[in-house]
Amino acid sequence: MDLAILKNGDIKDKYLFEKTLGQGSFGEVKKLKNKTTGEELAVKIINKSDMQQEDLLALQTEVEILSQIDHPNVVKLFEVWEDKLKFFMVMEIMTGGELFDRIVEKDHYSEKEAADTIRPIVDAIRYCHKMGVAHRDLKPENLLYATRDPHSIIKISDFGLAKIYDSSLMTTQCGTPSYVAPEVLEGKGYDEAVDFWSIGIILYILLCGFPPFYDDDNDKLFELIAKAKVEFPSPYWDNISDPAKDLIRKLLNADPKSRLKSDAILAHPWMVGDVTPRKALPNITDKIREYNAKKKFKKVGTLAMALSRWNTAFKSGDK
């Protein structure tokens, strides 16, 4: 792990542990307070007993990546502590909630707000890719607001599946089923363009309230993703602008080489507001609320588990 952020001693000497913010398969996230400065932070607590060797390697990669990333739209990692039983990742605290949870609270929502929401995410991914880092698990649950303020900054979190890549293709089939790119399913190798596919899925949902590819059966879902046939069903898309649909088509392109990259996304007329109108979306919050509730009710397993039946050529080694 990065020695610059690896701390020795007892973390409780420096920090006061407060309420639990969340739970996961890895352990839990708690609120921290610096005993000297009063600064509030979050700590991700990881139980060593729950970790396999591959989990430890993934954690080391995540720490290595986050210790090098310094972007306003990426959740910051400050320190890592270790004792005999646990790892403690001390991070920036995010109290504003997940992307979709925030949208459903709004009285008014528009295409312009969707563009303003996606823009900093694309900029952060552009930065990560320049650093040679692919996130590989972009989804609404990993897009968090810093505070409850209406104008709060949004940040990318959870780099647990992120990968430092070079000119060779990645092959590990990972991510979350609904947001995974078709080339990941093929198992023949992929590059950082998978992140732009995930952004396309998120943008599609932001504009209509449901995903472009959906089925309760993962096998059927993967078939839909593999075909990559993007449709804009009536009446939900009737009032969405054509430039918005154009951007989505160019993001959800089955050919990763033809898929729009960061600079082209940020320069797209819909993103920069060169086209009018970018319309109000009067029913979108209700649709997203419905999708969000369904998504949270259905606990999604890992992509590897979901693919085990669908793709017999599944490769487990991370390359």
Q: Say how far apart CA 229 and CA 207 lie, in whole Å.
A: 18
Q: Say how far apart CA 281 and CA 166 lie, in whole Å.
A: 41
Distance (Å) of CA 304 to CA 88, 179, 300, 309: 27, 14, 11, 10
Residue 202: closest CA among 73, 104, 277, 115: 115
Please identify which residue in the block is written with the tokens 């969405």.
Answer: 240
Q: Say how far apart CA 146 and CA 154 lie, in whole Å.
A: 6
| Residue type at 62 in one-letter notation | E
- Catalytic residue among 13, 123, 137, 195, which? 137
Catalytic residue list contains 116 = no
| Residue 88 contacts residue 264 (beta carbons within 8 Å) | no
Active site positions, annotated: 137
